[in-house]
Chains A and B, each alone.
With several copies, the nearest count.
Chain A
């Protein structure tokens, strides 16, 4: 499964990583825990980094499906 990271959180995990063998069906909360376990970095457990699935912000109980694009977004800062 491909995960994207934007803003501050990308300095921990990179911009774009492939996490092999993550089973579809995990919730966002479960996906965060799986990522923290595999990487050894727990930053992603902080809900300040919102999750977007296929370009739509989702809540923690959203379940990802095969082929979904999951992004974690740091707080926005435009202008």
Chain B
């Protein structure tokens, strides 16, 4: 299925703002002959699942395990789909509503592979990237853990869990 060609990969743990324009331009520059590019931006929403106002989202990471977990997910996507380039950046730190948490871009010859790979990368990042997040607001602070929907999404792909 998947041809044995080199895939351009840029996977990053971002401690500051993610620059989506720079990342898109770098990907397009790296694979100028691609016919399709799919991107995903994930942003901090202004309210919680319960509808309360959110002041900040705090993402914690592990000093040694987090960056390799992002790289591994990107490489797994490259191995699984017929794509030409993958760009992944995931924030850590204190984020405000509207700030970008995660950015994924995938370039390929044909659109189906780019759509599926971006979808896959997001499902993996939600459950297998080494982050912990909590939201702060008038209610105080609470940890957010993967929902059953996130786990169902993840199971569509039948992969090993990161770290095992």
Direct contact of A and B (CB under 8 A): yes
Give the chain A neighbours of B28 by CB distance below 8 A.
none
Q: Which of A19-27, A28-36, A37-45, A69-77 contacts B (4 or more CB under 8 A)?
A: A69-77
Cβ proximity bits B7-31 to A, threshold 8 Å, 1 near / 0 not: 0000000000000000000000000
Q: Is the Cβ of B129 less than 8 Å from the Cβ of A71?
A: no
Whether the Cβ atoms of B130 and A79 lie closer than 8 Å is no
CB–CB A8/B132 < 8 A: yes
| Interchain CB contact under 8 A, A76 and B129 | yes
Q: How many residues belonging to B are interface residues under a CB distance threshold of 8 Å?
A: 28
**Hey, which chain B residues are within 8 Å of A56, CB to CB?**
163
Q: Could you say which of A50, A73, A77 contacts B146, with CB atoms under 8 Å apart?
A: A77
Would you call the interface of chain B mostly helix, strand, loop, or mixed?
mixed
Q: Any chain A CB within 8 A of the CB of B118?
A: no
On whether A78 and B62 interact (CB within 8 A), knowing A7-B143, A8-B145, A56-B163, the answer reads: no
Q: Is the CB of A52 within 8 A of B145?
A: no
B125→A7 contact, CB < 8 A: no
Please, which residue of chain B has its CB at the minimum distance from the CB of A7? B132
A55: B residues at CB distance < 8 A: 62, 64-65, 68
**0/1 per residue, A10-22, Cβ < 8 Å to B?**
0100000000000
Q: Is the CB of B60 within 8 A of A6?
A: yes
Shortest Cβ distance from residue B19 to the other chain A in the assembled complex, whole angstroms: 19
Q: Let me know if A77 and B42 touch, CB within 8 A.
A: no
| A78 touching B129, Cβ below 8 Å | yes
**CB-CB under 8 A for A77 and B62, given A52-B163, A57-B163:** no
Output the least CB separation between B39 and chain A (Å): 14
Contact B62 A71, beta carbon cutoff 8 Å? yes
**Contact present for B130 and A74 (CB under 8 Å):** no
Q: Show the binding face of B for A, using Cβ within 8 Å.
A: 42, 59-60, 62, 64-65, 68, 90, 101-102, 122, 125-133, 143-146, 150, 162-164
Q: What is the interface of chain A, defined by CB distance below 8 A to chain B?
A: 4, 6-8, 11, 50, 52, 55-57, 71, 73-79
Other than A55-B68, A77-B133, give 14 A-B pairs with Cβ distance below 8 A. Answer: A50-B163, A52-B163, A55-B64, A56-B163, A74-B132, A74-B145, A76-B127, A76-B128, A76-B131, A76-B146, A77-B132, A78-B128, A78-B129, A79-B126
